[in-house]
Each structure stands twice: as C-alpha cells, then as structure tokens.
Amino acid sequence: MAIVDINARYTAPDSDNNDSKKNMVYTSDTGALFAVRIAENIGEAMGFGDFETSTVAGTIPRGLKMRTVSFKDASGKISGQYPCGTPTTPIFVEGGTITVPRKGKAAGVVCTVLGAQGEKRTIMSAADTGQNSGDIT
C-alpha cells in the first residue's frame, strides 16, 4: 500500500511554493503526454511529470477526464478526490493513505483511499456534414 503526504510541501522550508499552480504533465492511458496546470504540491505527490523536460501533445482534449483517487478520513468529515498523473502512480494502483493538507494547520489529516476511478473518455456525437456520402437521410 502506498503512502502519499501532500502536506509535506506545507512544512517544507520553501513554503512560497505551497499551493502555487504549476504546469505539469499528465500521462494518458494511451501514453500521450498533456500539459495541465495543477497545484505543485498535489502534482508532485500524485505522479505528474516535469513540464520542462517533456514533449507534450498540447492540453487535455475536451472529453478526456483524468484518472482520480477518492479518499475519506476516519471521522468522515474530510473527503475528496485527487487526480493521478500516470496509470502507474502507486497510490492509484495500490491504494493506501493520503495526508491531506489543512489550511492554517501545521499537520495534515491522514485519509484512507476509498477507490480509484480510471481515465474517462467521452466520444463526441457525430454531426451530419451535409455532404452526400451515400447515406440515407
């Protein structure tokens, strides 16, 4: 089981990076690389790649939703989802715990991963172009 501490960036000496957005790389199930803008601490903890050293295919296309893990703490008061950067991210594959940062608090809250949702693709509906392609209208 994997253990992810997203809160670690909050206690790091370079606290000016906490919650700052950064261009990072999402790897789709097909292996295509897409640029995403995500909070740096979440991106680093959840397996997103380095934008500066990657060749991306652009931004995530409409109709593609990133894979996620859902979590909840023992009290049931804190829950949510985080996206995962690659299909091999350990927390996505194995489950485990995520330490979730809490604003204004030094320590994060340990949450259990409830499940993982794979990448979703929506196929856009076809539209008639008006060209005669031999179909019956």
The single residue listed with the structure tokens 């990133």 is: 66
Give the alpha-carbon dihedral of 108, 109, 112, 118, to 10 degrees: -50
pLDDT score recorded for residue 48: 94
pLDDT score recorded for residue 94: 94
Domain ranges of the chain: 2-120
Contact indicator for 6, 84 with CB cutoff of 8 Å: no
The single residue listed with the structure tokens 């500066």 is: 52
pLDDT score recorded for residue 135: 59
pLDDT score recorded for residue 55: 84
pLDDT score recorded for residue 54: 78
How many whole angstroms separate alpha carbon 130 and alpha carbon 115? 45
pLDDT tens, per residue, the chain with 137 residues: 899 988 775 555 554 555 688 899 999 999 999 999 999 889 999 999 988 877 888 889 888 999 999 999 999 889 999 999 999 999 999 999 999 887 766 678 999 999 999 999 887 666 666 666 665 65
pTM, entire model: 0.78
pLDDT score recorded for residue 133: 63
pLDDT score recorded for residue 19: 62
pLDDT score recorded for residue 43: 92
Angle 13-14-17 from CA coordinates, rounded to 5°: 145
The single residue listed with the structure tokens 């509906």 is: 125
Report how far apart, in Å, the C-alpha atoms of 86 and of each of 8, 9, 22 are: 21, 20, 17
